């Protein structure tokens, strides 16, 4: 996944990833266009990303073959990631997050 020149928001906590694009967008306060929003399941093995643009909503899913995603473990809220940290996270590496 390419996050270059995009804002990336990582949602803390656990999200029911059976939700579709509309359900995930409903969790976002004031969604911004051209921004990637990342969500994860309880076991941190599945990641869903949502992005809004002028045409509608893009949604993607990524599952690691082994291991789990290195998620910020907080009960709620979100963190902004730079493109490099988001790419690290999606590839299963530990991202550098600055709040």
User: pLDDT, tens digit, for every residue of 29-82?
Assistant: 889 988 999 999 999 999 999 998 889 999 999 998 889 988 877 767 888 898
Distance CA 83, CA 17 (A): 23
Give the predicted TM-score (pTM) of the model: 0.87
Average pLDDT over residues 12-39: 92
Q: How far is CA 88 from CA 28, 55, 82, in A?
A: 23, 28, 10
CB atoms inside a 10 Å sphere around CB 46: 17
pLDDT, tens digit, for every residue of 87-98? 988 888 888 765
């Amino acid at each position: 996944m390419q996050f270059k020149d995009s804002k990336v928001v990582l949602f803390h906590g656990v999200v029911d990833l059976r939700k579709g694009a509309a359900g995930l967008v409903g969790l976002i306060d004031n969604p911004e266009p051209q921004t990637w929003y990342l969500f994860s399941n309880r076991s941190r093995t599945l990641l869903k990303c949502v992005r809004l643009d002028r045409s509608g909503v893009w949604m993607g899913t990524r599952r690691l073959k082994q291991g789990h995603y290195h998620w910020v473990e907080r009960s709620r809220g979100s963190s902004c990631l730079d493109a490099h940290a988001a790419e690290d996270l999606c590839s299963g590496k530990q991202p550098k997050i600055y709040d």
